[in-house]
């Protein structure tokens, strides 16, 4: 018997403990066939093959997460892997740029930028042309779906004056599962407490930005205890427990793309930016000690 997604989400990661499964690069393939073995789960297969649970479900016309031993599953090629393998980008340094900031923006490491440009330190100068190797680039590849869908939304631009960043506190989940949890367990009328959820590659794509119903309908958030902040605050949640691990490079690239778009194109004035723990003081450690909150405050105020 296989674990349901809900049980996997909220109670049992022990099944995968100690297993060292290979990760397959599907960027050069159309698909592969996987025969389900005992202990397999959709979330585990998604991690193993570098795709999302939703992609496997769609490729196999699955309406749930139930699978059985001996079942043949089509594993589709990974879109996120293909994007990550894109050509290098050239960035011209402007005032305020830092290597760490550029690494977050493009979804690469500081060392990768240093190596590509033969830099021995972290000093860069205005006007300098830097090669950004294999990053998600400035082309907004991670923000494209949000831009497109928001064109169909009557955004209350004057309303939103605060943006609050969160971590989910668990490494599993996506917008749909969190929406179900908030509706059924927390009895929240409008479901998903956040306006946006950024995946980590487990139950949604690494760096995939999912739009919540509260953004589509321009509803107040349910992501902090302070109702006044919820009324004017956009909630962005990155999937993961950042007390234990760091957000992925693609998550941070997606986050900065989303923030740049919201603060630069959508909202008429610069919003206040805060981590959850800075709003609900003494009640939470969110977004976790490994989220680069200080770096983001330098960038967004």
Helical spans, DSSP H, in 75-185: 79-84, 99-106, 110-117, 144-150, 175-184
In the prediction, which pLDDT does 184 show? Answer: 95
Q: Are residues 14 and 113 in the same domain?
A: no
Q: Are 74 and 215 part of one and the same domain?
A: no
Q: Are residues 72 and 94 in the same domain?
A: no
Confidence at residue 35, expressed as pLDDT on a 0 to 100 scale: 80
- What does the pLDDT read at residue 85? 42
Strand runs (DSSP E) across the chain, as ranges? 31-35, 72-76, 89-92, 129-132, 162-167, 196-200, 206-211, 233-238, 272-275
pLDDT at 235: 98
pLDDT at 43: 81
For residue 185, what are the domain limits?
Answer: 144-300
137 within a domain of the structure (yes/no): no
Q: Are residues 167 and 103 both part of a single domain?
A: no
* 260 lies in some domain: yes
Considering the domain architecture, whether residues 271 and 152 belong to the same structural domain is answered as yes
CATH of the domain at 292: 3.40.80.10
pLDDT for position 74: 85
CATH of the domain at 33: 3.10.350.10
Residues 76 and 92 in one domain: no
Going from the first residue of the chain to its last (301 residues), give the mean pLDDT of each consecutive group of 10, the final group possibly shorter.
33 27 37 77 76 84 87 70 51 85 74 86 91 58 81 94 97 95 95 96 90 97 95 97 92 91 92 97 95 93 89
User: Does residue 138 lie within any of the structural domains?
Assistant: no
What's the total number of domains in the chain? Answer: 3
Which of residues 60, 81, 102 is at a domain's end?
Answer: 81
Closest alpha carbon to 80 in 33, 43, 27: 27
Residue 36 domain flag: yes
- Residue 167 within any structural domain of the chain: yes
What is the predicted pLDDT for the residue at 88? Answer: 63
């Amino acid at each position: 018997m296989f674990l349901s997604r809900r049980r996997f989400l909220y109670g049992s990661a022990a099944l995968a403990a100690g297993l060292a499964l290979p990760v397959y690069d599907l960027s050069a393939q159309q698909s592969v066939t996987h025969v389900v073995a005992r202990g397999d789960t959709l979330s585990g297969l998604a991690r193993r093959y570098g795709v999302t649970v939703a992609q496997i479900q769609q490729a196999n016309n699955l309406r749930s997460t139930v699978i059985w031993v001996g079942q043949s599953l089509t594993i589709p090629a990974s879109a996120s892997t293909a994007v990550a393998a894109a050509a290098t980008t050239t960035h011209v340094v402007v005032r305020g740029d830092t290597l760490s900031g550029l690494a977050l923006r493009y979804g690469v490491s500081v060392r990768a930028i240093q190596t590509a440009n033969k830099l021995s330190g972290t000093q860069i100068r205005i006007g300098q042309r830097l090669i950004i190797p294999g990053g998600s680039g400035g082309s907004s590849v991670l923000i494209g779906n949000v831009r497109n869908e928001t064109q169909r939304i009557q955004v209350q631009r004057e309303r939103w004056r605060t943006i609050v960043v969160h971590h989910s506190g668990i490494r599993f989940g996506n917008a749909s599962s969190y929406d179900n949890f908030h509706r059924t367990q927390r009895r929240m009328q409008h479901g998903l407490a956040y306006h946006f959820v950024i995946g980590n590659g487990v139950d949604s794509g690494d760096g995939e930005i999912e739009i919540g119903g509260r953004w589509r309908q321009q509803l107040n958030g349910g992501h902090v205890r302070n109702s006044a902040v919820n009324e004017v605050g956009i909630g962005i949640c990155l999937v993961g427990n950042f007390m234990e691990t760091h957000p992925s490079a693609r998550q941070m690239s997606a986050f900065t793309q989303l923030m740049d778009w919201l603060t630069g194109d959508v909202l008429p004035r610069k919003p206040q930016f805060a981590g959850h723990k800075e709003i609900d003081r003494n009640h939470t450690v969110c977004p976790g000690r490994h989220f680069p909150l200080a770096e983001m405050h330098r960038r967004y105020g």
